[in-house]
Amino acid sequence: MQRAIISGMLVVILLATGCAEQKSASSASGVMPVHLPDVRTPIPLGTEARQEHRAVMLQHLETIQAIVAALAEEDYRLAQGLTESHLGFFMHRHAMARQDPANFPPAYHDLAMAHHAAAEKLADVIPTQDLKQILPQFNNVLKACVACHLEYRLRSS
C-alpha cells in the first residue's frame, strides 16, 4: 500500500518536472523577450532641445491616431488636413525653427525629410477616398517613423 503511494508520488513528481522542462524549453525558443544590444546612434541634445523633440514625437503619435480616427469615420477632409499640417513639410519647418539643425547629423535630416515626403504623398491620395490607395501610403509614413527609430536615439549632452 505504502509502496503504491510512493510510486504514485514519484510519477507526479516526474510529470511535474517534465512539465517544468517543457516550459523552459519553450522560453528558450523565443517566448521570453530578447534583449538586443542598442546599436542606435545617440544624438546629444540639451534638456530643452530634448523636451522640444519629445513634444514633437508625442504629437506625431497623436496625429497618427487622429488620422486613423478620421479615416474610420470617413472624414477625408479632416484626415487630409491633419496629415498635411501635422506631418508634412510645414510641420518640419515649424519643428526645425525650434531646434538647432547643427545638433542633428545629415542622415537624420534625410530620414526626417523622407518622412515628411511620405506624409505629403499620403495627403495627396486621401481625397481619392480609396483605402486601396490610402493604406499603402499610410504604411510608407509609418515605415518612415520606424526607419528613424531604428537608427537614432537621443542622449543628454
Binding footprint of ligand HEC on the chain (CB under 6 A) = 54, 57-58, 60-61, 64, 87, 108, 111-112, 115, 141, 144-145, 148-149, 152-154
Helix (H, G, I), strand (E, B) or coil at 39: coil
Of the pair 63, 133, the CB lying nearest ligand HEC is at 63
CA distances, 112 to each of 29, 94, 121, 127, 146 (Å): 37, 13, 14, 24, 11
Minimum CB distance to ligand HEC, residue 133 (Å) = 19
Of the pair 87, 123, the CB lying nearest ligand HEC is at 87
Of the pair 76, 152, the CB lying nearest ligand HEC is at 152
CB neighbourhood size of 138 (10 A): 23
Residues 6+ apart with CB under 8 A from 13: none
Assess contact for 151 and 42: CB atoms under 8 A.
no
Of the pair 24, 51, the CB lying nearest ligand HEC is at 51
Minimum CB distance to ligand HEC, residue 46 (Å) = 14
Minimum CB distance to ligand HEC, residue 7 (Å) = 57
| Helix count and strand count (H, E) for the chain | 6, 2
Minimum CB distance to ligand HEC, residue 35 (Å) = 15
Of the pair 25, 58, the CB lying nearest ligand HEC is at 58
CB neighbourhood size of 80 (10 A): 20
Minimum CB distance to ligand HEC, residue 134 (Å) = 15
